[in-house]
Structures are given as structure tokens and as C-alpha cells.
Copies of this chain bind each other. A is one copy, B any other.
Amino acid sequence: MSLGVITVAGMTLGAINYARRVARWQPDARGRLQHAALTLYGERGFDNTTVAEIAEHAGLTKRTFFRYFADKREVLFWGSEALEELFVTEVARTPESAAPLDAVAAALDAAATMFEERRELAVRRQQIVAANPGLQERELVKLASLAAAVAEALRRRGIGDPAAILTAEAGIAVFRVAFERWVDPTNPQPLQRLIRESLQELRAVTAA
């Protein structure tokens, strides 16, 4: 039921900026914090890890942690805006003639390949999130935000308001269902295939 990998942790985008500078501090503080958090959450669990410990592992202080991440959970979800962007651009890219749900389907396809490239990390994070209700809570927020962004992208295509939200929301539901099956180790199918199956299932179920 939990997604767990909506973000692109470990991309350490910040490092690019630092690269050309002389290292006044150890570079990529954000990435180090993410890495430490992922490790510690995985080892002892989310609840049994304090922010102070994460910061210490990264050679920083608690205060600095909270300068990079709004709270203890956010460190696992940083980067989810990138996924949102992917969805939005992909929806915008599909030809005007395509039906709204088909535009969303195209975005889902694109997202699938993105996740497929990082399966390792995705599964690892999923396990952490699945083990903690608080993290699942945060994940729902991210998915809701994603759905809202997709709805907005559909509106820019001229789709009316109830339709835009419903299409986006249904699309995200399809993604969730497919993702859940994808991370199940007993079910080694490509995400793209699972998404297409789920989408078909949705169409069948809503057919009058």
C-alpha cells in the first residue's frame, strides 16, 4: 500500500554547484544527510533513529539537518518535485488530439522507465516507508501533490475541472497499484507492463 520511492534520493544535485569551488566544508551536505538517514532508518528503523544521530553520521549538527529538510521524514522524499515535473512535461507533450487519460498514460510510461532505472534504491526505500505509518502518511501527501500537479497540467490542455481532477486521481491510483505489484519480489514483471495492465483494469471496471 505504500509507494516509498517517489523521490530520487541520492541524486545529490547540490554537488554540481559545489564542484567548482574550493571545499570550504565537506561537499554535498544534503546528500550526506540523505545517505546517513537512509542507512540508519534501514538499520534501526525510523523511530529508533534521532535526527542528532543522522547529523552526526554526516559530520553535521541537528540544526543543519533542519536547514536542509523541513522535518525528519522529508529527508526520504526530497526530490519528489522532479517526478512531478516529469509527469507535467509528459502530459503537456502528448498531442492535443489525445484523450486526457491517454496523456496521463503517456506520463505513467515515462515514469515507469525512470523507476526501472533505479529499482534497487526504490525497493530499499519502499521497505523503510512500509515499516512506518508516519512515512506512509507523508507519502500520501506526495501522491496527492502529484495528482494535483497532473490535474493542473490537464487543465492547461483545456480539460474541465471535475474531469481533470478525476482523471489525474485515477491515473495516480493506477500507478500506485502497479508500483505495489512491482516491488513484490514474487512478481518480477516490468513496471511498464504492470501499469498498462492496471490501466486496462480501470477501464474495464468503470465501463458502464
Max chain B CB contacts within 10 Å: which of A140, A174, A181?
A140
Interface segment out of the listed A15-23, A29-37, A114-122, A162-170: A162-170
Q: Are A144 and B197 in contact (CB under 8 A)?
A: no
Max chain B CB contacts within 10 Å: which of A100, A138, A144?
A144
**Which of chain B's residues have a CB closer than 8 A to the CB of A133?**
141
Interface string of A124-141 (1 = CB under 8 A from B): 000000000100111011
Number of A residues whose C-beta is below 8 Å from B? 33
In the complex, whether A177 has a CB less than 8 A from a CB of chain B is: yes
Interface of A is mostly: helix
**Which of chain B's residues have a CB closer than 8 A to the CB of A98?**
none
**Which of chain B's residues have a CB closer than 8 A to the CB of A1?**
144, 148
In the complex, whether A106 has a CB less than 8 A from a CB of chain B is: no
A170 to B206: give the CA distance in the assembly, Å. 9
Q: Are B162 and A169 in contact (CB under 8 A)?
A: no
Tell me the chain A residues, 94-128 only, with Cβ under 8 Å from chain B.
Answer: 100-101
Q: Are A201 and B166 in contact (CB under 8 A)?
A: yes
A70 to chain B, nearest CB (A): 10
A177 to B138: give the CA distance in the assembly, Å. 21
Q: Which 9 A-B residue pairings sit nearest by Cβ, starting from the closest?
A: A169-B173, A140-B140, A206-B206, A162-B201, A166-B202, A167-B205, A163-B205, A137-B141, A165-B177
- 18 A-B pairs, CB-CB below 8 angstroms? A133-B141, A140-B141, A140-B144, A162-B181, A162-B201, A165-B177, A166-B170, A166-B177, A166-B198, A167-B206, A169-B170, A169-B177, A170-B202, A170-B205, A173-B173, A203-B206, A206-B206, A206-B207
